[in-house]
Amino acid sequence: MVYISPSVQRVLGYEPDELLNTTLADICLPEQRAMGRLCSAYFLKKDSLIQGSSFVLKHKNGEHITVEAFVSVSYNLRTIILNQIEPEQAGRTKRAQTVERWFAFKADGAVTAKAIPSLHFLAVPTNLSPSNHAMLTRLQHELFDNGESLQLTPQPRVVFALQNTADPNIVYVSSVSQTLLGVESDTLINNKLTNLVHPDQKEYVLEKIKQVREELCVCRLTFLFQSTVGWVKLNAVCCSCSDAILLIARNYRPSFNMNRVLDSASSASEADP
């Protein structure tokens, strides 16, 4: 852990500096250390936003504190969100109940994060320049502060951070894009997104960006992205924050049937199961 929020002291009794350079496995029960390391490795590889599990952590005074942990790995920032479980609730908290208490689910698939005062953030950045880290940390917090969350499958994701403009440049691309799109992140930065979109879909993508910027909503879009392996169909969600627009691919695959894919992009679409 390279950053610990001050509010963790209220839950575990440690000063933030006392936990620097430690791991979750260092403060959980010995019998849970293997699970902690497994979870850490899993979430580093799987880009998952909503996951639930409970740990018993050691308070500085020697007591054992049971917490629920939600982990987010997005924009190369691994964040653990802890919520203390009262002793009488420990041992009978079910994941389904936890998810429903923390998040509201709508019929159209949208997920809204409920405001919970007892959330505590432990952020673990990986492989980020200082400027990207500062910007993307703010975006991460704004998503929670604004009560907006995204229902995403637990897999590595292509994430674009775009300028908050009408025809935005790309300012950040997650490193996994090289594997999934065949394009190195550095070659995409400072390029306009519309330069990499199929010509027949540029107006469609710009209209979606306009909608997100004006309505401050989360929208879904499907478009063809130009990569070194040809056109790749991206099924994505898009949302606006003060610093940037986030475009997160929920689903991606090489596309060979152009007409069918272009037709399917004319309306909002859901990611495949």
Q: Which residue has the higher pLDDT, 229 or 72?
A: 229
* Spatial contact of 76 and 126, defined as CB atoms under 8 Å apart: yes
pLDDT at 78: 59
**Does the structure show a pLDDT above 90 at 268?**
no
* Spatial contact of 216 and 245, defined as CB atoms under 8 Å apart: no
What does DSSP say about strands 103-105 and 111-113: parallel, antiparallel, or unpaired? antiparallel
Q: Give the contacts of 233 (CB within 8 A, at least 6 positions apart).
A: 222, 223, 224, 225, 252, 253, 254, 255, 261
Q: Kindly report which listed range (90-104, 148-162, 199-213) carries the lowest average pLDDT score.
A: 90-104
* pLDDT band with cut points at 50, 70 and 90 for residue 22: confident
Residues 225-246 have a mean pLDDT of 77
Residue 110 identity (one-letter amino acid): A
Question: Could you say which DSSP state residue 192 is in?
Answer: B
* pLDDT band with cut points at 50, 70 and 90 for residue 43: very low
Nearest to 177 by CA among 131, 227, 211, 213: 227
What does DSSP say about strands 120-125 and 53-58: parallel, antiparallel, or unpaired? unpaired
Tokens 């575990």 belong to: 12
Q: Kindly report which listed range (16-20, 37-41, 112-116, 206-210) carries the lowest average pLDDT score.
A: 112-116
Its pTM stands at 0.43
Per DSSP, the residues of 70-85 read: EEEEETTEEEEEEEEP
What are the tokens at 60? Answer: 């500085």
Residue 67: strand, helix, or coil = strand
Q: What is the mean pLDDT of the chain?
A: 64
* pLDDT band with cut points at 50, 70 and 90 for residue 263: very low
**Does the structure show a pLDDT above 80 at 7?**
no
Residues 183-205 have a mean pLDDT of 88
Show contacts of 207-210: CB within 8 Å, 24+ apart: 208/238, 209/162, 209/166, 209/167, 209/168, 209/238, 209/245, 210/166
Q: Kindly report which listed range (49-63, 127-141, 148-162) carries the lowest average pLDDT score.
A: 127-141
State how far the Cα of 6 lies from the Cα of 80, in Å rounded to an integer. Answer: 14
* 147-189 per-position pLDDT tens digit: 334 444 444 567 787 888 899 988 877 766 766 677 777 788 8
* pLDDT band with cut points at 50, 70 and 90 for residue 194: very high
Residues 16-33 have a mean pLDDT of 76
Q: Kindly report which listed range (65-74, 88-97, 249-258) carries the lowest average pLDDT score.
A: 88-97
Residue 24 identity (one-letter amino acid): L
Please report the domains of the chain, with CATH numbers, ordered by start residue. Answer: 6-145 (3.30.450.20), 158-251 (3.30.450.20)
Burial class (CB in 10 A: 0-12, 13-18, 19+), 167: middle
* Spatial contact of 173 and 255, defined as CB atoms under 8 Å apart: no
Q: Which residue has the higher pLDDT, 23 or 204?
A: 204
